[in-house]
Amino acid sequence: MHAWTWVLQRVSAVILIIAVGLHIGFLHFSNTAEPLNYGEIVVRLKTPVLIVFDILLLIFGLYHALYGLYSVFLDFDSGKKERVVVLGLLVCVGLGIVGFGIFGLLSTRSL
Amino acid sequence: MSKPLQVKVFRFNPESDVAPKFDDFEVPVFDNMAVLDVVIHIQNYLDRTLSFRFSCRIGMCGSCAMYVNGRARLACRTQVSSLKTRDITIMPLPNFPIIRDLVVDMEPFFDKWKKIKPYYVPRREMDEPVTVQPNSNEREFIDDMLDCITCGCCYSACSMVATNKDYLGPAALNRAYTLIADKRDAIRVERLKVVDRSYGVWRCHTQFNCAEVCPKNIVPTRSIQNLKRRCVLKKFGKFK
Amino acid sequence: MSNTHVISANAFRTRSQMWDATGMWAWILHRITGLGLVFYIILHTILMAGSLLSGKEDFDSTLSILMGHPLFEFLDILLLGTVFYHGLNGIRILLFDIGIGVRVRTQKSLFWIFMGVGAILWSWSILLKLGW
C-alpha cells in the first residue's frame, strides 16, 4: 500500500504545482477591480474543461493534503487499531469534503 | 589554545541519582587533542566515576560516539580545535536509553539492524568466483555505503527515530540497501519486503541529518531513496 | 545484562536533536506550511462550496468581503508565501525522489536556490497584489 500512496502523493504534487498555479493566477488574482461575482462563476463553470479542472484540483488537492496528514500521524508511535481508525476518518473526511465541493460546483449549472 | 577547556558533562547513575545533572570540569589542552582525550583526562585525574565507551581510538570501532556541542560525533575523531570554542558540552547519544553517564544501550539499534538480516546470503547455483565485476555499473553505489561501523551517530541524529520507536533507522536501511542492490544475494526480495513497511523506508523524509553526522561519509538518505524506488518498481512487477 | 542494567537502560533518554541541519529545517517548515495549507484547503472548499450553494446574493457578499477587506489581502499574501515555500521545497523533494541531488552539500545548495526563487516570486506577487 505504501508504495502506491507514496507515488500518488508525488503525482498529485506535480499536478498541483500546475493546477494551483493556474487557479491562483486566474481566480485569486482577478484582473478586474471588483471581486468575483456569482455570475462570472456560472459562466466559467459552463465550460466542461473548466469544471472538470476544478473537480480534479479538488480531488488531487485533498488527496495530497490528507495523505500528508496521515504521514504526520505515522511519524509518531501508534497502535494498529489507531492507524486503522485514523485512516478511516481521513478517508471519510476526504470523501465528504470532495463530495460537498463537487456538489457546490455542480449547483451552478442548471440541469 | 593555552587556556583550559570548560567542559560540561552529562552525568546520570540510575543506581544513585534521581535525575540527570551536568558536572563541570576544567581540562588542560594539548596539541591535537581529541574529545576522547578530554573524557579520558577527566576520568584519570578529575572524576574516576565517569563512564564512557571507547576502544580503538582511531575511528574504526564505533564505540566512542557521543553528542558533543550539539551534534553526534566520534569522540576520538573530533579534534577539540574543530569545535572552535573552549566551552564543550558532552552528552550521551540521543534516541538511545541511557545506561550510565555517556554509555547508552545499543540494543534497540542492533535489534533493528538484525531485522534486515545484515549479512550476505549466497545463492546456491554459482559456479564462477566472481559474477559481478567490482567496477561494473551493477555495483551502483554500494561500495560507498559499506564502511558502516555501527557507531549509532546517524540513528541518534534522525528525527524520525526520535518520534517513532519502530522506525528501522538509517543504519539498518543503509545496510539493507547494500544487500538488496547486490545481484549475488539470495534473499534480496525478502529483505525488500522487510523495509517496504511504514516503519521502514517510508518514514524517511530526506532530512539528511544521518548523512551530515556519519563519520564514514555514508549517505543513508541516498540508499533509502534508492530502496523507495525499488519498492515502487516491484509493485509494477519489476524487481531490479 | 544484570537486572540493574536492564532497569537503568530504560531510565532516561535525552531527546536532544541536531539543530544546525539545513535539511531538517527545510522539512520542519515544509510540514508547518503543509499543515497550514491542509487547514486552508478544507476551510476554503467548505466556504466556497457553501457560498455557491447559498445562491447569488450570499456568494457575492461573501466574495466582496474576502476580496476587498485589507485583513484578507494580508492573509492572502501569507497564503501565497506558504504556497510558494511548500511548492518549491516540494520540487526539491521531487528531485530527490528521482535521484537528483541526494548528497549532503547539493541538497543544501538546492534549498537556498529554491528559497531565492521563492523570495523573488513572493515579492513579485506582493507587488502585483498591491497594484504596482
Residue C65 lies in a domain: yes
Interface test with A, best of C27, C64, C67 (most A CBs within 10 A): C67
Which pairing describes strands B21-27 and B71-74: parallel, antiparallel, or unpaired? unpaired
Residue C8 lies in a domain: no
**Residue among C49, C94, C128 whose CB faces A29 most closely:** C128
Closest-CA residue in chain C for A45?
Answer: C52
Contact B138, B183 (CB under 8 A): yes
- Position B55 pLDDT exceeds 70: yes
Residue B190's CB is within 10 A of a number of other CB atoms, namely 13
What band does B15 get if pLDDT is binned at 50, 70 and 90? confident
A30 and C67: CB-CB below 8 Å?
Answer: yes
Query: Could you tell me which of C104, C112, C101, C85 has the C-alpha nearest to residue B157?
Result: C104
Q: Could you tell me the residue ranges of all domains in chain B?
A: 5-104, 107-235
pLDDT at C1: 47
pLDDT at B51: 96
C104 and B71: CB-CB below 8 Å?
Answer: no
Closest-CA residue in chain C for A96?
Answer: C46
Which set of grid coordinates corresponds to residue C126?
A: 506582493
Q: Look up the pTM and report it.
A: 0.92
Q: Could you tell me the residue ranges of all domains in chain A?
A: 2-106
CA distance B203 to chain A (A): 6
Residue C116 lies in a domain: yes
Contact B44, B37 (CB under 8 A): no
Identity of the residue numbered C67:
M
Burial tier of C40 (Cβ tally within 10 Å: 0-12, 13-18, 19+): middle
Q: Which residues lie below 8 Å from residue B115, measured CB to CB, with a gap of 6+? A: B168, B172, B194
Contact B197, A5 (CB under 8 A): no
Which set of grid coordinates corresponds to residue C94?
A: 521531487
> For chains B and C, what is the number of CB pairs under 8 angstroms?
102
Spatial separation of the C-alpha atoms in residues B177 and B226, rounded to whole Å: 8
Q: Which residues of A touch B202 (CB under 8 A)?
A: 2, 6, 74
Residue C10 lies in a domain: no
Interface test with A, best of B192, B229, B231, B239 (most A CBs within 10 A): B231
Range of the domain at C77: 20-129
Residue C14 lies in a domain: no
**Residue among B10, B91, B99 whose CB faces C9 most closely:** B99
Which set of grid coordinates corresponds to residue A103?
A: 456538489
The correct CATH number of B5-104 out of 3.40.50.720, 3.30.70.1380, 2.40.70.10, 3.10.20.30 is: 3.10.20.30
Query: Could you tell me which of A40, A45, A13, A59 has the C-alpha nearest to residue C45?
Result: A59
Which residue has cell 540527570? B20
Tell me which CATH code domain B107-235 carries. 1.10.1060.10
User: Of B8-22, B114-128, C87-101, which gets the smallest average pLDDT?
Assistant: B114-128
Report the b/e string of B5-17 with b at 16+ CB within 10 A.
bebebbbbebeee
pLDDT at B1: 52
Residue C9 lies in a domain: no
pLDDT at A30: 62
Interface test with A, best of B167, B206, B232, B236 (most A CBs within 10 A): B232
Bridge partner residues of B163 (DSSP): none
DSSP H or E run through B119: none
The pLDDT > 70 percentage for chain B reads: 99
**Residue among C41, C67, C90 whose CB faces A62 most closely:** C41
A3 and B198: CB-CB below 8 Å?
Answer: no
Closest-CA residue in chain A for B200?
Answer: A2
Which set of grid coordinates corresponds to residue B127?
A: 559456479
CA distance C8 to chain A (A): 22
Taking any CB pair shorter than 8 Å as contact, residues of chain A touching chain C are 10, 13-14, 16-17, 20, 24, 28-30, 35-39, 41, 58, 61-62, 65-66, 68-69, 72, 93, 97, 100-101, 103-105, 107-108
What fold is seen in the domain A2-106?
A: 3 helical TM bundles of succinate and fumarate reductases (1.20.1300)
Domain count, chain C: 1
The predicted complex's ipTM stands at: 0.91
Which residue has cell 535525552? C14
- Position B137 pLDDT exceeds 90: no
Any idea what DSSP says for residue A36? P
Q: Hey, CA dihedral for C97, C101, C102, C106, is it positive or negative?
A: negative
- C23 close contact with B: CB closer than 8 A: yes
Residue length of chain A: 111
The CATH number of the domain holding residue C117 is: 1.20.1300.10
Q: What is the mean pLDDT of residues B31-43?
A: 97
- Position B224 pLDDT exceeds 50: yes
Per-residue pLDDT of chain C (132 residues; tens, 9 = 90+): 454 554 455 567 887 888 889 999 999 999 999 999 999 999 999 999 999 999 888 888 888 888 888 898 899 999 999 999 999 999 999 999 999 999 999 999 999 999 999 999 999 999 988 876
Q: Which residues of A touch C46 (CB under 8 A)?
A: 97, 100
Residue C2 lies in a domain: no
Closest-CA residue in chain C for B11?
Answer: C12
- Within chain A, which residues score under 70 in pLDDT? 29-33, 111
DSSP H or E run through B74: strand B71-74
Contact A109, A45 (CB under 8 A): yes
- Position B32 pLDDT exceeds 50: yes
Chains meeting C at 3+ CB pairs closer than 8 A? Answer: A, B
